[in-house]
Amino acid sequence: MKNTIFEYFKNLFYPKLYATAKKPQTTPLSTNIDRNIGYLQGKFNGSADFTIRRLNINNIRGAILTMEGMCNKDTLTLSVINPLLEKEYPKIQGLELFNYIERNVLTASELTKIEDFETLMQLLMSGFAILLIDTCSTAMSVGVQGFSFRSVSEPESETSERGSREGFVEPLRINMSLLRRRLKNPDLRFETMTVGSVSKTDICMCYLTDAVSQSILKKLRQKLEKIDMDTVLASGYLVSYLEDENDHSLFSGVGITERPDTAAGKINEGRIAILIDGTPSALIIPYLFVENFQTMGDYSYKPYYATFIRWLKYICFFIAALTPGFYTAIALFNPELFPEQVLNKVAVSIGSTPFGLITEILLVLFMYEIMREAGLRLPKALGHAVSIVGALVIGDTAVSAGLIGAPTLMIVALTAIASYVIPNLYPQLCILRILFILAGGFFGIWGIVLLSCVTIVNMCGKSILGVPYTMPLAPFKLFGMRDVVIRADWKVLSQRRNIIRDRKEQ
């Protein structure tokens, strides 16, 4: 009965989440060039960027189809149009002429034969030039892509003092080259596919054949093939499809990075990176909980300092999640745990404010989240102004007016700063912080202990593609601990790769 009810609500709210994607039907090209062009004109329906350049090739009608702004006009002229018009052809036609042009005329390095309209339109809208010849039911795509894109620059969200200054950009092929430059290994594979029935977004799986688990790779490929979406415009669109079917955890087993060196390091450990065309980031799968506390900068320092930074991040995680809840629980249920001088200050603060402690601390958190969102969405110049105004209004005026207590403001400020030490976990910490405040406010310290146990059980029960989310802590792997609690020296880290395997292969 329980499973039946769950299946009902799952199908009600997520009707297509686990559906098998339908294979699209294909429409073959015609031998009549006018019919082919007419079909495409009907599909694009007078779109201004669809261009047709008609040619006479060996006294046979031909056409070059392009999308304005998606191809390089100089390359198109030098590699396609000029060779086609200037070449002297033997007395051949049809498919024989088509093959002769492919072997002896066109100078472009990327040529692909096309036999259906669906593939033709996808390549056409990806920046390829399409060659059509009358009496031939096969078209040819020529790689002349030349659309404008943002240059490679340092990622803003993952800065590093000593690491690379390069970050992923929007074009898929550029991101593939950034990985290839760092892993000059023939075992590095790029496997492309298309998702989104409307957007036709290109994605690419990147992995090392000698390091990746074939079981994990097979499961991931099946998940990607089952995706049934209209549009895929960002990496977050795919995350819910890559998680396990019955996963209801706050935490995610799919990581996101904007750094090619980070993605290359994960690929070297047997992970799979997923690049999405139009998105300046890569998805890393499977992604473990302990990896949220690891950054590329950690591996540029001496082990003792990197270990100190690692411990600092763990401490900040507990501060950001538990401090407001513990403060609320102790102030309301166990005030005797405060030192005498602190207790006097807290009692005066609670007594002088018009709100209850739970309401007060949630109100400050709510105002902080408003300021944070405003600072993120506004231009940088206005974002700084919002931060200054918010600090003055909330930090000084609200305390002076007696609306908010100074200890409460200090606790919220401490947790907010601690949250930014581990930015990958900020969404989870934001929710956990509120839950711990409510648990501590209504049930005291025992409520926090109970909620902590529920959170730990939830994390330990989570897996991604058969890999436990809390590895190597649970199940415990001594070899994996060399880069968890401490960061060992590179002489130890480089001895053997920490390859990821699912439960059945371990």
Q: Three-state secondary structure along 172-203?
A: HHHHHHHHHHHCCCCCEEEEEEEECCCCCEEE
Report which DSSP code applies to 425.
Answer: G
pLDDT of residue 403: 82
Strand pairing partners for 195? Answer: 201
Do residues 64 and 80 touch, judged by C-beta distance below 8 A? yes
Report which DSSP code applies to 81.
Answer: I
Do residues 143 and 111 touch, judged by C-beta distance below 8 A? yes
pLDDT of residue 53: 92
The distance of Cα 264 from the centroid of its chain, to the nearest Å, equals 15
pLDDT of residue 19: 46
Q: What order of strands is seen across the sheet that includes strand 282-285? A: 188-195, 201-208, 272-276, 282-285, 255-257
Contacts of 87 (CB under 8 A, 6+ apart): 104, 105
pLDDT of residue 332: 92
Q: How many helices and strands in the chain, by DSSP H and E?
A: 18, 12
Paired tokens of 188: 């590095």
Do residues 448 and 326 touch, judged by C-beta distance below 8 A? yes
Q: What is the pLDDT along the chain (506 residues), one digit of tens a residue?
A: 445 554 554 554 444 444 444 556 788 999 999 999 999 999 988 888 899 999 998 889 999 999 988 888 888 888 889 999 888 888 888 888 888 998 888 888 888 999 999 999 989 988 899 999 998 999 999 988 887 778 888 887 787 777 788 899 989 989 999 999 999 999 999 999 999 888 889 999 999 998 898 999 999 999 998 888 888 988 888 998 998 877 788 899 999 999 999 999 999 988 999 999 989 999 999 999 999 999 888 888 889 999 999 999 999 999 999 999 999 999 999 998 888 888 888 888 888 888 889 999 999 899 888 888 877 777 766 666 666 666 666 677 777 777 888 899 889 989 999 999 999 999 999 999 999 999 999 999 999 999 999 999 999 989 898 899 998 888 888 877 888 888 888 888 777 666 677 666 65
Place of tokens 């950690």: 298
Angle between helices 357-377 and 406-419 (to 10 degrees): 40
Do residues 195 and 203 touch, judged by C-beta distance below 8 A? yes
pLDDT of residue 450: 96
Strand pairing partners for 257? Answer: 282
Q: In the chain, what are the domain boundaries?
A: 33-142, 172-298, 303-460
